[in-house]
A and B are shown apart, each in its own frame.
Chain A
Amino acid sequence: MEFKITMPRKRRELYNKEICACSIFGAMNRDGERFTGAGVMKAIANMHVRGNGLGGGFAAYGIYPEYKDYYAFHLMFTGCSAEARMAAKMGFDPYLYENFDVVYDEEIPHRDESTVSDPPLVWRYFVTPNKKGDDAALSDEDYIVAKVMHVNTKIDNAYVFSSGKNMGCFKGVGYPEEIGEYFMLDRLYKAYTWTVHGRFPTNTQAWWGGAHPFSLLDTTVVHNGEISSYGTNRWYLEMYGYACTLQTDTEVIAYAADLLMRRQSLPIDLVAKILAPPIWNSIDRMNEKEKKLLTTLRMVYGPLLMNGPFSIIIGQTGKMIGLTDRIRLRPLTAATRGPMFYLSSEEASIRLISPELDSVWTPNGGEPVIGELNNIT
């Protein structure tokens, strides 16, 4: 029997979604002028193919000038029905009112006709600490951190996902441009720094709390990559009172940044050398002083080394910082135009909203790029 095989030469129907990675983007006006989220939504949408619609989020700095002296808590109440979500809020409110003075609260405005799936109840509270007993000795910040950790570990279906002053995170399951529309970030808010993330979850399920940014107080992190040292990092951070509850590796970077930068007041250059230290080969080639410093950092902070490929944007009041792993296994492009400072997974997204740029470069692995406000108002 003879077989005649003819290979069909017609064009294969191409799978429309063959590309994957995460996307990150940040835009900062170093003069402190505030702008809406419209531009960054456009920029992140241009990297649509890097994500897969299972997470998107924004951090915005300078959005609550009328409440700038109060901590802005953004809360997520989960549950399978509106009643269950409201019940979760009822479970949380007494704890909040017992420990804080609340000057204003409301549901975060959103578009109900949006396409996002299973949105939780998202509420914001503007609060000041009401410290009692032993807690009176704590700084405001330490008090907030302790209470956030308590809520996220002890109170069912309630998650504080944003807790800084005059800033806020907005995040959820969907493409980032959808999340931006859901919370109407292009109309309701003006910030001097926006950071954005489009997610392609690799190791954990997508849920609203697991979207980026991750934040604590005013520090936020958006991240492309994965932290393969997550277990070690998490174990170390737990010793300092940080509980990882959000099921995404990036959470450890936010807490590490809080520990090193706020509590231990280390400058970002040192923090970068802790999170992304040069490899031993490189350390061997340094002069004695540098060698001693880097060896010491690796001894003291070994468990905070973030192993694995990453590029991240850290947001803080008045600051935006880009950092990649030491051998830059994930992309990051930096650019400036006048007072504007941009960070992005891809240059095209920056050019889309700022066709002319003063400078464009790809930072070296492990070396932070930093944008700072000229005058912090």
Chain B
Amino acid sequence: MAMAHNAQPQLLEATGSGESMDAVEVDATNLETRELNDRLRDLMLSGVEKVVLRNVCGQRYIGTRLYTPEHRKMDIEIYGTPGNDLAAFLFGHNIRVHANAQDGVGNTMDHGEVVVEGRAGDVLGFSMRGGKIFVRDGVGYRTALHMKEYEDKKPVVVIGGTSQDFLGEYMAGGIVILLGLGGKPHKGNFLGTGMHGGVIYLRGTVDKTQVGSQVDISPLNDADREIVDHYVSEFIQRFPDLGIGKEEILKGEFIRLSAKSKRPYVKLYA
């Protein structure tokens, strides 16, 4: 494996041939947020397609500032605990975290994929407008806050566990799937408060007092089932160690939370 040393980032020539290159390792010990993200950007510009970050400890915005006009893509593997706003504005890259993630994962993410082998904190998928996030365990407050979609851009968040309060607050688009694995009930309150678009599929049940007044609770139709089936398969692929089969997940009862109205405030502001 090639090593990028702390003092002198190793800049590799782009191969241009599309052949797979060795992963470049970066030791993030004592690197500041900006230094680490500069390093990632330099590596991407030099044509590196796979980076392994070791000893990450709280550095923020990992994966941001990685836009190129030619849409280069990188696989980023993270060991250690990444800081807030992981994958903010992510533009097409794949990130896998071998640990828990903090707050703000996928903030305004554009496309690409984030996989968290653990739990994630608050405001995951905030204003997310494309791409996918898979979290093995649970998530904190305000997941998918103001998530949105436009034409073919449709963000997807799949959570293996459950969520704390304000899931899908002001949600405007996209798909959130909450699998409730591990048998814990969904205790979150204020689900979908202010929701006016998108859909939340939830395995298990919630009381209607737990959801916002703008939200309809309904059973899944065939089209919904197809969507859930598809993303549950993708979830299982990403966490093979979970040791749980797709059928076992799908045989659980699912419900669908969606907005009663696309313009809930039309009477207020018309």
List A residues at the B interface (Cβ < 8 Å). 14, 16, 19, 46-47, 49, 282, 285, 327-328, 331, 333, 346-349, 351-352, 360, 362, 364-365
Residues A347 and B165 in contact, CB atoms below 8 Å apart: no
Q: Which of these, A14, A282, A346, A365, contacts B34 with CB under 8 Å?
A: A14
Residues A47 and B103 in contact, CB atoms below 8 Å apart: no
Q: Which of these, B60, B100, B141, contacts A328 with CB under 8 Å?
A: B141
Residues A327 and B165 in contact, CB atoms below 8 Å apart: yes
Report how many residues on chain B are interfacial, defined by Cβ distance under 8 Å.
Answer: 25
In this assembly, does B155 line the interface, its C-beta being within 8 Å of a C-beta of chain A?
Answer: no
Residues B165 and A365 in contact, CB atoms below 8 Å apart: yes
List B residues at the A interface (Cβ < 8 Å). 33-34, 56-58, 60, 80-84, 99-100, 102-103, 119, 121-122, 140-141, 164-166, 189, 209
Residues B81 and A19 in contact, CB atoms below 8 Å apart: no
A-B contact pairs, 17 of them (CB 8 A): A14-B34, A19-B33, A46-B57, A282-B189, A327-B166, A331-B103, A331-B121, A346-B84, A347-B102, A348-B82, A348-B83, A348-B102, A349-B58, A351-B81, A352-B57, A362-B164, A364-B164
Q: Is the interface of B mostly helix, strand, loop or mixed?
A: loop
Known A-B contacts A327-B166, A328-B141; A347 and B121 likewise in contact (beta carbons under 8 Å): yes
Q: Which of these, B33, B99, B100, B140, contacts A49 with CB under 8 Å?
A: B33
Q: Is the interface of A mostly helix, strand, loop or mixed?
A: loop
Of all chain A residues, the one with the shortest Cβ separation from B41 is A11
User: How far apart are the CA atoms of A349 and B122 in the complex, in Å?
Assistant: 17
User: How far apart are the CA atoms of A285 and B189 in the complex, in Å?
Assistant: 11
Of all chain A residues, the one with the shortest Cβ separation from B82 is A348
Residues A49 and B60 in contact, CB atoms below 8 Å apart: yes
- A residues within 8 A CB of B164? 328, 362, 364
- B residues within 8 A CB of A16? 34
Residues A346 and B141 in contact, CB atoms below 8 Å apart: no
**14 new A-B contacts at CB < 8 Å, known A327-B166, A346-B83:** A16-B34, A19-B33, A49-B33, A49-B60, A328-B122, A328-B141, A331-B103, A346-B102, A348-B102, A349-B58, A351-B81, A351-B99, A360-B119, A364-B165
Residues B141 and A327 in contact, CB atoms below 8 Å apart: yes
Residues A19 and B165 in contact, CB atoms below 8 Å apart: no
Residues A365 and B141 in contact, CB atoms below 8 Å apart: yes
How far is the CB of A342 from the nearest CB of chain B, in Å? Answer: 13
- B residues within 8 A CB of A364? 164-165
